[in-house]
Each structure stands twice: as C-alpha cells, then as structure tokens.
A and B are shown apart, each in its own frame.
Chain A
Amino acid sequence: MIIISPEDYMKKIILLMCIIFILSSLSCKKKTETSIKEITTKSGIEMIFVPEGEFIMGDGSADAPLHKVKISSFYMDKYEVTQKMYKTLDLPNPSHFKGENRPAEMVAWINAAIYCNERSIEEGLTPCYDEKTWECNFEANGYRLPTEAEWEYAAKAGTSGKFFFAPDPKNLKNYAVFSKNSQGKTETAGSKKPNPWGFFDIYGNVAEWCNDFYDKDYYKNSPSRDPRGPKNGNERVIRGGSWNDSEEIVNSTARSKDPSLSDACILRDTIGFRCVRKGD
C-alpha cells in the first residue's frame, strides 16, 4: 500500500494544475495560429485573415487613453500597396521613389479610396466608397481603408504596448524602415521582418492612411465595438510612421493625421496605405 503524505499530495495537485495551465495555454496559442490565415485574392494580392477579437487600444497617452475594443473579423493586405499593384489596375502612380515593388506614396486619401474601389471592381466586389461623398459603406464586400481600430488591432497582433516585439526599441531596425535605417527613401515592400500575424512594414516604410477622420478626443467617446471614427473632419488618421519618422511615431499606438485628402500641392512621399475588406 502506498501512503501519500499531505505534503506530497499538495505537490501533486500543484503539478497537475501547472500541466493543465500549460496545456490550456498551448491550446489557446494553437487556436490563434490556425485562425490567422493567409489568402491570395483574385487579383493575386496576398491578404491575411484577422479573426474577430478583443484588445486594449491606445497606450495611455493623452490622445490615446487605454480602452477595450472589440473588432469584427476582416482581411488586411499583407504588404503596403505597391506601385506594381497600382500599375496592374492602370491607375496613375504619383510616387516620388519609383520602383514596382516599393510602396506607392504621394497618395492623397481620396486616391487611396479610388484605388480601393477599382480593386473591388476588378474582383467583382461591391465598391465601399461613394465617390461623390467619400462615405464608406462598411457592409459592402469590397476593399476599403482600415479603421484606426482595425489597423491597431492588426499591428499589435495579440501583443500589448507600443511595440509588438520585446520592449527594447533597438529591435525596431529589424522590423521597420524608419529614420534611423532608411536611405532617405522607401524600401522594397517586405524588406524587414513581419509582425506576429505576418504583416510586413506595419511599422515604417510609408505611413498608412486609415478610413477614420482624426479627432484627438475620439477615444474618450468611441464605441467599444468596431469604432469607425468621427462622422466629419478635415484630416484623416495615418498610422505606423514612415521611412522619415522616429520610433516615437513608428509603433503600434502613435496617432498621426494629415490633411492631404485631395490637394496635390501637399502630397507627401511618406504616406501610402494598405487595404482591408470585411471578413466572411
């Protein structure tokens, strides 16, 4: 007969609990990995499916207070929209730094929306943007710009804080083309490591247009489910920073804005975009 002392009994219970915890964690990780999947669209563009989820948006700063946000599933471009992708659709490419595989830049917000509509038409999808009002129909199955919340959810990729990698900003050079490692211009899309969900250049290279108008106080009153930005505004949100920005901007949470919605006189060679479309 084996006699177990109370001390051993406790040890075994603790061991069992540890095993259950580890298995449970592995199970969760596996679930996330299988949920994040890559697809190739009809026009040959690689996108990543981002499942519905919840995350803490913001970084606790004045214009980005921490708050919980639920996001519906969506697809997002694996890379920033390149000049080759522009050329495929026979759209005027305004980029300063020419190169088929470099991201498109000098793109006014309206022209980014036009690209989304044309890509939708090309694939037989319903365009999201009304080209008279530039209002976005989120129910349409076509392409659009990400909401600010979708962008941050994808950038954080299940992590929290400013950077999706270890908190040492020195690691940024491995993941982003930014002011400290760029040659004063953009680089080929995907030249650095991707984030945990597989998005390349989510930090740096070109800052990315979002669909939302910018309001510094928006987070204070935004809905907790699929926030879509203020109704009106003069500037749209840009995220992720560019080849010309420092780590203060090139991260998951820094909020920026730009007024170059349609005026060619103020276009910037630091701004591009990537597209999303709603999940199945």
Chain B
Amino acid sequence: MKKFFVFLLFPMIMLCLGAEKELDLSNIKYKIVYESYSNNNWDIYIINADGSNKKNITNTPNIHEMYPKVSPNGKKIAFVVDTGEERNRGRDLYLMNIDGSNRRLIAQHGRQPCWSPDGKYIAFTKSESTRRFSLESWSTKGLFFYNMQTGKITEHPETTLEHLYNLCWSPDGQYIIATVLGGMGFKHTNIAIEVKGSSYFELNVTGCRPEFSPRGKYIGWGPSDRQFNIAKIDLSKRPPVADKDKIPFLYVTEGYEVYHLDWSPDGKYIAFSFGPDGEQNVGGMAPGWNICVAEVATGRWKMITFDGNHNKEPDWVP
C-alpha cells in the first residue's frame, strides 16, 4: 500500500512543483482512436500515441461517427453513428474494421458500446426516448449484449437498468462498471453490475466515468470535471474501493476540463480529453479540446493533438 501511495504521490508533487520534463511518447507502440469535429461533421481518427501520423478513418462528410471503442484484438471498432439534426437526430451502433472498411449496423438506437475482454460480445445501452434525440450521456435505457458470432442481441437479466453511461467491462469478465444518473434509486454515482446475475452495487467513488486498468486492479475516474483520481479496486469486497485508497492523479485549473480517461493496454499511460469548459457528451460541442497522454508513473502529460477540433473520447488500440 505504501508503495502504491508513493507511486501516485510522486507525480502529484512533480505537478505541484512544476518540475515537469518533456514527456517522450515516441516509444509507445500503441495507436489511439478518437472522435473529432470539423467542417460540420464528426469523424473518427487514428493517431500514433506521440501525435504523429493522424488519419481520418471514417471520412464521411454527411454522417457523424463518434465514440470509437476498439476490440481487444485491435481489429474492429464499435462506434456510434448520428444521422438527422436536432430533435430528429438519431443514434445507432455500428461496427467496422480498424481501417474503416466493412462498416455495418449492429443495433438501432444503440449507444455507449464496450467490449467484453474476450472480444466475443459488445455491451451497449439504448436511447431512452423515442420521441426526440438527447445528447445526454445518461439518457439511456437497459443494458444489452451483441454476440459477435451470431449477431444476436440479448438484454441483461435485470431489465430495470436505466440511465447508465460509460460502460467498462472488467478484465475478468464478471462485471460491467458504469455511471448512473437518476436511475434505480441512485442520484449520480458509479456502480458495478454483474454480467450474468441481476445484482448491482455502488463502487464508493463519487464522480463519473470509471475505467479499469488493463489487469483490473485499479480504476481511474473523474471526481469532478477538472480532475482524475486513481484507486485500487476489488469487486469482491464491500465497498470495492476503500476511501484510503483514493489518490488524486491529475487536475487542471478552473476554466479547463479533463474527461474520457482510458488506460493504455500496458497500463503505463492514460489518454484523455482536455480543453476549455465545453460539452463532454458524445457529439457535444467542445471547441479547443485535444487528446492528451499522461504517464502513470510520473503524472507528466502532454497534448498529442493541437487542432482543437472538439477532440474527445480517446481509446487505445491494443
């Protein structure tokens, strides 16, 4: 425990003292995908972790593609597509190859996809209202599973689940963690849901958007829109996260926000979105936002995109 504390305290001290050294990301072997908005259109881009070799992999001027989630084997991307405008906008869940080819619809009204660790299923939620479109991340109903082999969709045994967002499947395959707002009696908190059972319980972390580290030993989340925390997590314990284990990892000054934390496949880095006060929801306008990468061991971080084109929702390519 002491080691863990020192491990995370060090980057905080470094940040506070401003003793940052230039972070070298050129040796990272993984790429990152993210959503970006330009010329009135959302597309999905792929980029090296050091910011080089940016490429638009959807490139559809009249269709909005967002929220890319890469399969565990790095070959597929689940993502959402928006069509129509304003209240008549619609959001559906699609799948494509990592190079943008062979795209296909897998779930109408599907949102917030996340992959099972074995890559056999994609968990997702559905839009809550059939009357009009909502950008709100929490505006969802149910929890569903798309079977990659059969193409069939099944609903989670607990059919009262609602208002879930930011789904993240535990590396052991047993749970999905998510944020819930105004659903199942919760105000706004983070919960774990049994994948095969019907129970769910609070993680004891306030804020939103929890993400497992690759081995599932830690989670990162945003206690506010200006900070990330990291903590040890053990879903067999109650609560799964102890107060003493919650460590502030990174924060930014007032007027700026950080969101959409995602651990690199080796657990050494965290990618995230950063920019001036903006709209963090999928497809929300966030001018000036860029993708950044932080080194977990030191807390040092740097921007890897600079165009400020509403760049959000980074996801590492294994």
List chain A positions with a Cβ less than 8 A from chain B. 89-96, 98, 106, 111, 114, 118, 131, 262-265, 267, 269
Inter-subunit contact A92/B129 (CB<8 Å) = yes
A-B contact pairs, 12 of them (CB 8 A): A91-B129, A91-B131, A92-B163, A93-B182, A95-B182, A96-B187, A98-B185, A264-B136, A264-B138, A264-B208, A267-B188, A269-B187
Known contacts A92-B134, A92-B163, A131-B87, A265 near B182 by CB under 8 Å = no
B181 neighbours in A (Cβ, 8 Å): 94, 106, 264, 267
B279 within 8 A of A: yes
In the complex, which residues 78-107 of chain B have their Cβ closer than 8 Å to any Cβ of chain A?
Answer: 86-87
B207 within 8 A of A: yes
A106 neighbours in B (Cβ, 8 Å): 181-182, 187-188
B163 neighbours in A (Cβ, 8 Å): 92, 94
Q: A94-B182, A114-B132, A264-B136 are in contact. List 20 more A-B contacts (CB 8 A).
A: A90-B130, A91-B132, A92-B129, A92-B139, A93-B182, A94-B136, A94-B138, A95-B182, A96-B182, A98-B185, A106-B182, A111-B136, A262-B279, A264-B137, A264-B208, A265-B188, A265-B207, A265-B224, A265-B225, A267-B182
A267 neighbours in B (Cβ, 8 Å): 181-182, 188
Q: Shortest beta-carbon distance, A230 to chain B, in Å?
A: 19
Residue of B nearest to A127 (CB): B87
Q: Shortest beta-carbon distance, A264 to chain B, in Å?
A: 6
In the bound complex, what is the Cα–Cα distance between A92 and B129 (angstroms)? 6
B234 within 8 A of A: no
Inter-subunit contact B188/A264 (CB<8 Å) = yes
In the bound complex, what is the Cα–Cα distance between A233 and B101 (angstroms)? 46
Residue of A nearest to B139 (CB): A92
A89 neighbours in B (Cβ, 8 Å): 131
Q: Shortest beta-carbon distance, B6 to chain A, in Å?
A: 30
Please indicate which of the listed interface residues B131, B182, B279 has the most CB atoms of chain A within 10 Å of its own CB.
B182
Residue of B nearest to A263 (CB): B225
A92 neighbours in B (Cβ, 8 Å): 128-129, 134, 136, 138-139, 163
B224 neighbours in A (Cβ, 8 Å): 265
In the complex, which residues 252-301 of chain B have their Cβ closer than 8 Å to any Cβ of chain A?
Answer: 279, 281
B222 neighbours in A (Cβ, 8 Å): 265
9 residue pairs, one from A and one from B, having the closest CB atoms = A94-B182, A90-B131, A92-B139, A96-B187, A92-B128, A106-B182, A90-B129, A95-B182, A92-B129
Q: Shortest beta-carbon distance, B127 to chain A, in Å?
A: 9
Inter-subunit contact A265/B129 (CB<8 Å) = no
Residue of A nearest to B224 (CB): A265
In the bound complex, what is the Cα–Cα distance between A91 and B188 (angstroms)? 19
A265 neighbours in B (Cβ, 8 Å): 188, 207-208, 222, 224-225
Q: Shortest beta-carbon distance, B284 to chain A, in Å?
A: 9
Residue of A nearest to B134 (CB): A92
* Cβ contacts B165-182/A at 8 Å (1 or 0 each): 000000000000000011
A96 neighbours in B (Cβ, 8 Å): 182, 186-187
B129 neighbours in A (Cβ, 8 Å): 90-92
Inter-subunit contact B86/A131 (CB<8 Å) = yes
In the bound complex, what is the Cα–Cα distance between A118 and B279 (angstroms)? 22
